[in-house]
Copies of this chain bind each other. A is one copy, B any other.
Amino acid sequence: MPAPEARVTVAVSTAVFGVRADASGAPRLHVALVPRMREPFLDRWALPGTWLAADEELADAAARVAAETVPGPVRRLEQLAAFGAVDRSPTGRVLTVAHWALSPALDDDGAAPSYSGGLDVAGLPAGVHVRWQRADAPPAMAFDHAEILTAAVARLRADLPRAGVAHALLGPSFTLAELRAVHEAVLGRTLDAANFRRATLATGVLEETGEVRAGTRHRPPKLYRYRPADGAPPPAAPDDPGDLS
């Protein structure tokens, strides 16, 4: 058994996902990435992260990273997995405990805000600009972060049917078309509108707000919200770090 002195440095990374408009205005799944300002991997993009302080809980560190990276609330922070390949960093053995979280996408007007100009957020050195990048087509990434991102997207897609996941990506009220757009953005494929409407309403988790989305159309679409009991986060999954700290 190796001695505990043969230490490994521990980091925490957080992939914050949001549905944001791309250049054409279409809602797409994005992830908040940070450009590397120094070697190794200068100018590549990285998941935001931090060293784990000896007195900081994993979930707290992951939440701090998210709060320092993306403005506004972050929802459903969960642990993804530990990534600790011996050669993942050229500067020494670093194990990172990767987390993922969701940033609400749609404001009350149903618009998918574009942050393509970069985010001004606290907690980062001057000159470092977080950007929302396409989660399924990210730019060249540092370390093994492309691998971590791929695993995080897969987990998000697998968890999409769970109560509250799509909810966490939406504003407080939304049309069925907006809900479908979030599902399509996460899954990276189009869904049949009529089937989606039928299946979603059949679950009973939504209720009408009694209002409609004002717009230019002849029949403005109804607004929905999650019923309170179903909109609450489900019981923590086994790998939810909320259980562990």
> A-side interface residues toward B, CB under 8 Å?
1-4, 6-10, 50-58, 79-86, 93, 95, 97, 144, 147, 150-152, 154-155, 158, 238-239, 241, 243-245
Contacts and interface: CB of A to CB of B under 8 A. Distances in A.
A138 to B, nearest CB: 16
A32 to B, nearest CB: 17
Contacts of A2: 50-53, 56
A55 B86 contact: yes
A26 to B, nearest CB: 26
Contacts of A6: 51-54
Most chain B CB within 10 A, of A3, A8, A144, is at A8
Nearest to A65: B1
Task: Report, nearest first, the 9 A-B pairs whose CB atoms are least far apart.
Answer: A2-B53, A151-B238, A154-B238, A82-B82, A81-B239, A8-B10, A85-B245, A82-B97, A4-B51
A90 to B, nearest CB: 14
B85 A82 contact: no
Given A1-B51, A52-B95, A151-B238, 13 more contacts: A3-B51, A6-B54, A7-B54, A55-B86, A79-B81, A81-B81, A81-B238, A81-B244, A83-B244, A144-B244, A151-B239, A151-B243, A155-B238
Contacts of A83: 244
Number of copies: 2
Contact of A4 (B9, B97, B239): B9
13 contacts: A4-B51, A6-B51, A10-B10, A57-B85, A58-B85, A81-B238, A82-B97, A83-B244, A84-B245, A151-B238, A152-B238, A158-B238, A239-B239
A57 B2 CA distance: 13
Contacts of A51: 1-4, 6
A61 to B, nearest CB: 9
Contacts of A238: 80-81, 150-152, 154-155, 158
A8 B81 contact: no
A63 to B, nearest CB: 14
